[in-house]
Amino acid sequence: MESQVYLKGSLEFSRPLKENEYEILQSLPSNVGPSDHCGWTCTYNYLLWDESDGFQTFLPWLSYLIQMYFDKWNIALNGSIQWTSYEEGDCGVLSVRDSTIYVHYDVDSYN
**pLDDT tens track for 13-27:** 999 999 999 999 999
pLDDT-based confidence at residue 50 (cuts at 50, 70, 90) = very high
Q: Is residue 44 within 8 Å of 37, Cβ to Cβ?
A: no
CA 21 to chain centre: 16
Is 0.85 topped by the overall pTM? yes
pLDDT of residue 2: 56
Residue percentage of the chain with pLDDT more than 90: 68
pLDDT of residue 111: 45
Bridge partners of 96? 79, 101
Residues in CB range of 56: below 8 A, 6 or more apart: 2, 3, 5, 35
pLDDT at 75 over 50: yes
